[in-house]
Structure 1
Amino acid sequence: MLGPPLTPRESAVLAAVERRLTNPEIASELFISVRTVESHIASLRRKLGAESRADLVSAARELRDASVRVPANPFRGRGRDVAELEAAVRAGDLLTLVGPGGVGKTRLALEFAKAQDARTPVIVEFEHATPGDVVNRISRVLGLEASPHEDLLASVGIALAAQPYLLVLDNADHVGPATRSMIARLRPLAPGLKVLVTSQTPLGGDDEHVHLVPPLTADGVDAPASALLRDRLSAHGHAPAAQDDPFVDHIATRLDGLPLALELAASAARHLPLAELSARLDRDFAMLDRATPEGRHRSLETAFEWTWHLLDDEERDVLQRLAALPRTFDIDLAVAVSHEGAERIVLRLLDRSLLVPAFGDGGRWRLLAVMREFVLARTDPDVVRDVLRRHAEMVTIVSEGFIARARTDASKEAMGLSVMLCPEVNAALRWSLAERDPVAVRLSALLAVGVEQYGSDADSVEALSLGAHDDWLLERATPSQLLVLGNALAFFDIEVVSRLAERALAAADPADPHELRAAHQLAGLAAAYGSDPAAALPHLDTAERLAIEHDDPWDAAAARQFRGVALRSIAVQEGRRSDVADAVEAFEGAMRAYARAGDETHVNNVRFMMALTAAESGYDSERAARWAAECVAYSESTDNEHELAHGRLVQATLGLDESGELGELLVSFRHLGDLRCVHRVLMLRANRAADPRSRVAALREASAIATAAGDRARQIATVEGLVRAHRDAGDDGAVLAALDTLADLAGRSAAVAACPPGQLGAFLGESART
Structure 2
Amino acid sequence: MTDVLGRRGNLPAETSTFMGRAEDLAEVGRLLREESLVTLTGVAGVGKTRLALKVAGERSDGAWLADLSAERNGALLAHTIGAAIGLKEQAARPQEDVLAEHLSGRRMLLILDTCEHLIGPCRALVGQILRAAPDVRVLATSREPLGLPGERVHTVRPLPVTEEDCDAVRLFRERARAVRPGFECSDAVVRLCGRLDGVPLALELAARRLRALTAGELLDRIDDRFSLLAGGGRTARHRTLRTAVGWSHELCTPEERLLWARLSVFGGTFGAEAAADVCSDEQLVNVPDLLARLVDKSVVIRHGQRFRMLDMMRDYGREWLHVLGEERLLARRHREHSLALRRGMRHPRRRDVGDPARRPESSRPHPGPGH
TM-score bracket, shorter-length normalisation: 0.7 to 0.9
**Which residue identity lines up with residue 15 of structure 1 in the other structure?**
D
Alpha-carbon spacing, 1:317–1:292, altered in 2? closer, same or farther (3 Å): closer
SS in 1 for 2:238: coil
Q: 2:3: which partner in 1?
A: 15
Contact 1:318–1:338 (CA<8 Å) still a contact in 2? yes
What is residue 376 of structure 1 aligned with on the other side? 318
Structure 1 residue 292 displacement after superposition: 6.6
Give me the whole-angstrom Cα distance separating, in 2, the residues matched to 1:86 and 1:291. 30
- Structure-2 residue corresponding to 1:296: 237
2:342 is the alignment partner of 1:399: yes
Cα distance in 1 for partners of 2:234, 2:153 equals 30
Determine which of 105, 110, 125 is the counterpart of 2:53: 110
Residue of 289, 296, 319 corresponding to 1:351: 296
Amino acid across the alignment from 2:98: S
Q: Which residue among 323, 333, 339 is the counterpart of 2:264?
A: 323
CA distance in 1 between counterparts of 2:57 and 2:233 reads 26
Residue 152 of structure 1 deviates from its aligned partner by 2.4
- Shift, 1:284, TM fit: 4.5
Q: Give the TM-score normalised by the residue count of structure 2.
A: 0.86
Which stretch of the first structure deviates more once superposed, 286-295 or 327-336? 286-295
Unaligned runs of 5+ in 2: 346-371
Query: Which structure has the larger Rg over C-alpha atoms?
Result: 1
Q: Is the 8 A contact 2:105 2:134 kept in 1?
A: no
CA–CA distance in structure 1, aligned partners of residues 161 and 240 of structure 2: 21
- Tell me which amino acid in the other structure corresponds to 1:354: V
2:64 partner SS: strand
Equivalent-residue separation in structure 2 for 1:294 and 1:91 (angstroms) = 32
Q: Distance in 2 between matches of 1:162 and 1:15?
A: 15
Alignment partner of 1:231 is 2:174? yes
**Residue 74 and residue 171 in structure 1: after superposition, are their counterparts in 2 closer, same or farther (change >3 A)?**
same
Task: Measure, in 2, the Cα distance between the counterparts of 1:265 and 1:221.
Answer: 17
Alignment length (residue pairs): 339
1:550-598 superposed Cα distances (whole Å, 9 cap, x missing partner)? xxxxxxxxxxxxxxxxxxxxxxxxxxxxxxxxxxxxxxxxxxxxxxxxx
Residue 178 of structure 1 corresponds to 121
Give 1:347's aligned amino acid: A
> Which residue is 1:60 aligned to?
7
Question: More strand by proportion, 1 or 2?
Answer: 2
Residue 203 of structure 2: aligned partner? 262
AA in 1 matched with 2:120: P
State the SS of the aligned residue for 1:116.
Answer: coil
Report whether the alignment pairs 1:121 with 2:63: yes
Mapping for residues 701-712 of structure 1, pairs under 5 Å? none
- Structure 1 runs of 4+ with >6 Å offset: none
Answering whether residue 229 of structure 2 is matched by residue 279 of structure 1, we say no
CA deviation profile, 1:590-646 (whole Å, cap 9, x unmatched): xxxxxxxxxxxxxxxxxxxxxxxxxxxxxxxxxxxxxxxxxxxxxxxxxxxxxxxxx
In terms of fraction of residues, the more helix-rich structure is: 1
Q: Tell me, yes or no, if the aligned pair for 1:325 and 1:387 is still in contact at 8 Å.
A: no
The Cα offsets for residues 129-154 of structure 1, whole Å up to 9 and x where unpaired, read as 12011100111122222431134223
Partner residue in 1 for 2:358: none
| Alpha-carbon spacing, 1:90–1:335, altered in 2? closer, same or farther (3 Å) | same
Structure 1 residues 141 and 291: alpha-carbon distance in aligned structure 2, compared to 1, 3 A threshold: closer
Where do 1:437-586 residues align within 5 Å? none
Q: Given that residues 70 and 111 in structure 1 are in contact (C-alpha distance below 8 angstroms), is that contact kept between their aligned partners in structure 2?
A: no
CA pair 308-256 structure 1, distance change in 2 beyond 3 A: same
CA-CA distance at 1:115 after TM superposition: 0.8
Instruction: Give yes or no for the alignment of 1:334 onto 2:281.
Output: no
TM-score for the superposition, normalised by structure 1: 0.42
Bigger RCO (CA 8 Å, 6+ sep): 2
Distance 1:350 1:70 in 2: 33
Q: What is the Cα-based RMSD across aligned positions, in Å?
A: 2.1
Q: Structure 1 unaligned runs (5+)? A: 1-11, 17-43, 45-58, 403-770
5 Å-filtered alignment, 1:129-144, equals 129=71, 130-144=73-87
Contact preservation (8 Å) 1:320, 1:379: yes
Distance of 1:383 and 1:349 partners within structure 2? 20
> Equivalent residue for 2:367?
none
TM-aligned CA distance change 1:271 to 1:72, over 3 Å = same
Summarize deviations over 1:413-440 as a string: whole Å, max 9, x none: xxxxxxxxxxxxxxxxxxxxxxxxxxxx
- The C-alpha deviation readout for 1:437-487, integer Å capped at 9, x for no partner, is xxxxxxxxxxxxxxxxxxxxxxxxxxxxxxxxxxxxxxxxxxxxxxxxxxx
Q: CA deviation at 1:211?
A: 0.8
The 2-side partners of 1:135 and 1:332 are apart by: 43
Q: Work out which of the residue numbers 176, 191, 194 in structure 2 matches 1:253.
A: 194
1:321-362: CA deviation from partner (whole Å, max 9, x where unpaired): 0012222211011101111421000011111000123x4xx1
Secondary structure, counterpart of 2:270 in structure 1: coil
Among all aligned residue pairs of Structure 1 and Structure 2, give the percentage whose two residues are the same amino acid.
Answer: 32
Which residue matches 1:363?
Answer: 305
